[in-house]
């Protein structure tokens, strides 16, 4: 198995800083406080880097949801932990590592909408263009074709999450 670099550490960090500015710009006239929800485990590095660069009050929440086994989506969503505070009337930003089939994100969004937030947006580090997932992603880091990505939180069977760049398995 050969690992190749797709986006080096500098490119990833620069793009995340740009995304933080886009997010600030969107929210600046709407609210002073943002509820950011990190989708674990894969989004942890992206989430941390993103919120460190958002110049406003950010409340953190975490959900642990998965649908992958190896390199394929199982199509079955497993919820391991969920948001434990009210989101009614709040400005919510879901922070996701990668949107592929969209199944996991669709599941999360349908649940979060039940809380009746004032606003619900999505920031994704990666949007894969393999599937027509039909989910409008508000803030996208990188768009990629059909490659299996690792690094910067993305894993292959729980390995490679801690790579400081985004690579792919050839």
Catalytic residues: 100
Q: Which of 88, 65, 60 is nearest to 77 (CA)?
A: 65
Which residue blocks in 58-169 are alpha helix, DSSP H?
A: 103-113
Using the Cα atoms of residue 44, residue 23, residue 78 and residue 81 in order, give the sign of their dihedral. positive
Exposed, middle or buried, 75 (CB in 10 Å: 0-12/13-18/19+)? exposed
105, 76 Cβ separation under 8 angstroms:
no
Other beta carbons within 10 Å of 74: 12
Cis geometry, peptide bond prior to residue 127 (ω within 30 degrees of 0):
no
State residue 71 phi and psi, 5-degree precision. Answer: -105, 0
């Amino acid at each position: 198995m050969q690992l190749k670099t797709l986006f080096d550490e500098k490119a990833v960090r620069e793009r995340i800083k740009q995304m933080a500015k886009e997010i600030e710009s969107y929210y600046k006239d709407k609210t002073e406080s943002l509820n950011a929800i990190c989708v674990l485990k894969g989004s942890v590095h992206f989430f941390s880097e993103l919120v460190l660069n958002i110049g406003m009050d950010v409340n953190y929440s975490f959900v642990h949801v998965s649908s992958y086994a190896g390199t394929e989506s199982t199509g079955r969503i497993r919820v391991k932990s969920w948001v434990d505070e009210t989101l009614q009337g709040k400005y919510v930003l879901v922070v996701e590592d990668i949107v592929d089939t969209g199944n996991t994100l669709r599941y999360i969004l349908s649940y979060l909408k039940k809380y009746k937030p004032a606003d619900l947006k999505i920031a994704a580090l990666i949007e894969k263009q393999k599937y027509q997932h039909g989910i409008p992603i508000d803030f996208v880091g990188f768009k990629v074709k059909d490659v299996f990505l690792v690094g910067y939180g993305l894993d292959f069977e729980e390995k490679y999450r801690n790579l400081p760049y985004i690579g792919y398995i050839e």
